[in-house]
Structure 1
């Protein structure tokens, strides 16, 4: 299915305000409520809309510190990659894990209360991940820009 201009307006609007009532969304995208509802259902069914979530404030949740951790594994065998990926999914403080091309094998985005809390996360979880050869952590000093919205 290809997206027309109305589908794109719906997606852009829902990315900014996912809890918008259908009546309000239909006004914004200039459709009748029933036509808008059908389009949203189709976008959900076709997988363009994957899920609806609440985005929490990291400061209010007491995890204002963001750390990016580059991990290089000892080997590249499928078993090593699979064991690492299975284990890293279980760490509650890891928000993202990306398999990388370049000098590091994986890049993790980790949240923590502060440097002491990150030291705990490192000791308790990261240092115990299977297959890790090297690890380098970089602390974000300030988030200049952050979005979850994809270009539509």
Structure 2
């Protein structure tokens, strides 16, 4: 899909202030509300805008521990990836699953309320996942930059 300068301007303003109501977004982007609606519908239909979601500050809800787990799987079983991912999806505290090419096969992002909760999740749910050959845990200390935006 080809996007033009108006589409880019709409997306740029929306990314900068996602809470703007549509009238204010149209005003900032220099288009009428009707034009804004048409363009947003077209961008959604083309898959440029995948979703509009709430961003929750999990720390504000008491989740103080975030861990990224990197797994190398035992690939002697041809279903290792599928079985591991299916089991990982069942762990409620797993908020992200990503697969890679290279030494690391899968990364899980896990949230826990505190270290006691994390220890229970790790022992009872993570270490029981199938086909683990190696696991490395990286505990998040701080997030320096978090952005889904690129220059438009």
Shared fold (TM-score, shorter chain, > 0.5): yes
Q: Contact between 1:71 and 1:105, CA under 8 Å: does it hold in 2?
A: yes
Q: Contact between 1:18 and 1:52, CA under 8 Å: does it hold in 2?
A: no
Matched, 1:15 2:15: yes
Report 1:14-53 matches (<5 A).
14-53=14-53
Following the alignment from structure 1 to structure 2, what is the Cα–Cα distance between the partners of residues 5 and 77? 50
Unaligned runs of 5+ residues in structure 1 are none
1:56 counterpart SS class: coil
The match for 1:72 is: 72
Structure 1 segments of 4 or more deviating over 6 A? none
Q: 1:141 to 1:44 in 2, by over 3 A?
A: same
Q: 1:76 to 1:9 in 2, by over 3 A?
A: farther
The match for 1:144 is: 144
Q: 1:29 to 1:116 in 2, by over 3 A?
A: same
Root-mean-square deviation (CA, aligned residues, Å) is 1.7
Please report the TM-score for the alignment, with normalisation by the length of structure 1: 0.90
Unaligned runs of 5+ residues in structure 2 are none
Please report the TM-score for the alignment, with normalisation by the length of structure 2: 0.90
Q: 1:103 to 1:52 in 2, by over 3 A?
A: same
Following the alignment from structure 2 to structure 1, what is the Cα–Cα distance between the partners of residues 128 and 139? 20
Please report how far the alpha carbon of residue 99 of structure 1 lies from its aligned counterpart in structure 2 after TM superposition.
Answer: 0.9
Please report how far the alpha carbon of residue 77 of structure 1 lies from its aligned counterpart in structure 2 after TM superposition.
Answer: 4.7
Following the alignment from structure 1 to structure 2, what is the Cα–Cα distance between the partners of residues 76 and 68? 25
Bigger mean CA offset, 75-84 vs 108-117: 75-84
1:125 counterpart SS class: helix
The match for 2:85 is: 85
The match for 2:117 is: 117
Task: Give the paired residue count.
Answer: 152
Please report how far the alpha carbon of residue 33 of structure 1 lies from its aligned counterpart in structure 2 after TM superposition.
Answer: 1.0
1:111 counterpart SS class: strand
Following the alignment from structure 2 to structure 1, what is the Cα–Cα distance between the partners of residues 64 and 98? 21
The match for 1:135 is: 135
